[in-house]
Structure 1
Amino acid sequence: MSTAELLSDPAAWAALATLIVMEVVLGIDNLIFISILSNKLPEAQRGKARKVGIGLALVMRLALLTAIAWIVALTAPVFDLGIVGPTGSHGEPSFETAFSWRDLILIAGGLFLMWKATKEIHHSVDEDDSDDLLDKGKKTVELSFTAAIVQILLLDIVFSIDSILTAVGMTEHVQVMYVAVIVAVLVMLLAADPLGNFINRNPSVVMLALGFLLMIGMVLIAEGFGAHVPKGYIYAAMAFSGGVEGLNIWSRRARERKAAAKATRH
């Protein structure tokens, strides 16, 4: 179908709107990781790291779209251990060990995400005991920036493959996929600095975000083993936790304002 025909097709516009929403939602995971990692850098480099990280995410997604046949082939099994879990209510196994390249990438990405989140949680609890390359106390600022970009790139690969495979499953029109991916990444770019600054201003949100990354890592590993976890449950849990934390921040700031007003009167 030509571009002109797509522009006059209501179904294509509906697919585009749905896919943009899906891509933005899927980009939240990527954006949280970029925000947390960039906040480990000196303040002058944080904005640059976010822009480079999101730029790499865009390049990765567009490059994968140009090789869409290869991406679809990643779902073909490469080896099978012959272990299958019990059948669920829909007649599908709860897990399986017929691994494709996509499964292996998801498992590797999930393990990396869990390792990184656990390391950051440990550093948040005990700041004096850290050998992290991204520690602000290190003298080699360039190495810290390079290490941040390398780690962002590794997770960009994982999230990009998941994103493009989702796009392939929702529409057959490559033009629609290109537009949806570009719009979603532009939304990520606009949200990167406000989200990163918000996380940096509210230390309790950092722990919540790291908890999200742990959960996302476990979900990636589960999906690598063929266990389908409905994304709606994950994002509902994230939204609920975020709402509760928002109430905590609101309450904390209200107490601070009252304390400041009382101090001014005295």
Structure 2
Amino acid sequence: MIKVSDLSFSYNANDEALRNVSLEIPKGSWVSILGHNGSGKSTLSKLMVGLLSPSSGEIYIDDMLLNDENLSKIRKMIGIVFQNPDNQFVGVTVRHDIAFGLENQNIPHGEMVKKIDHYAKLVGMEDYLSKEPHHLSGGQKQRVAIAGALAMEQDILILDEATSMLDPEGTRDIVALIKRLNKDLKKTIITITHDLSFAAQSDHLIVLKDGELILEGTPKEVFTQEELLKSSHLELPFELSLYNEALKDEKMSKKVLEALWAFNSKM
């Protein structure tokens, strides 16, 4: 669905945010892009939706080159929800906010109302349509922002640090919603995060450090590279650190190791 080839980007002559990054994201997958602050992960997300233009390299969305000529077509295929949903709110109520993108597309009023009601219900916000967004909790704001993106009916959804401002319950709710969007609606989901517990539940991980791709694979493959993750300022959750230590001890039961992994995957 997405192919990035030798992608580089600089904010200025002394700040190269990405260097020669190449990766592929399959259609219908949930991929987490991991990295500490300054790793380039948010820059990569902005490049993929055309908010920034690369210094060099290419991005293809569904075999279509991302350039000025194709930008309007590609933006109908891919949406993004930023870390702080307050920065995306433009409507005085939840209903108006979800409607914003639809109004820009000149969707007929009757059809628009159906879409708003449908996607508000999908994210569990149907009872809040008349509420003002700034009165909502962090998790509710994220749900509204996601509903607004979903209403555009794009195939790809990027969530930038979607859980960073949420409590554990809010995080669980967003994870459940992501899984539903991915498995039931077949959306390609890209999550930008530094939270390895959250990322553990995705299909594939991509790790960036100082603008370079240093590691990728399934969560199980990536999380065995504990020293490399630590060098990237990414700390494994306790149970996964214990899992890695157990791998070094042949006497420890394999069932115990698998139970630890299964426990983390359900979190």
What TM-score bracket applies, with the shorter chain setting the length? Answer: under 0.3
The structure where strand makes up a greater share of residues is 2
Which structure has more RCO (C-alpha within 8 Å, separation ≥ 6)?
Answer: 1
Which of the pair has more CA radius of gyration? 1
TM-score by length of 2: 0.28
The structure where helix makes up a greater share of residues is 1
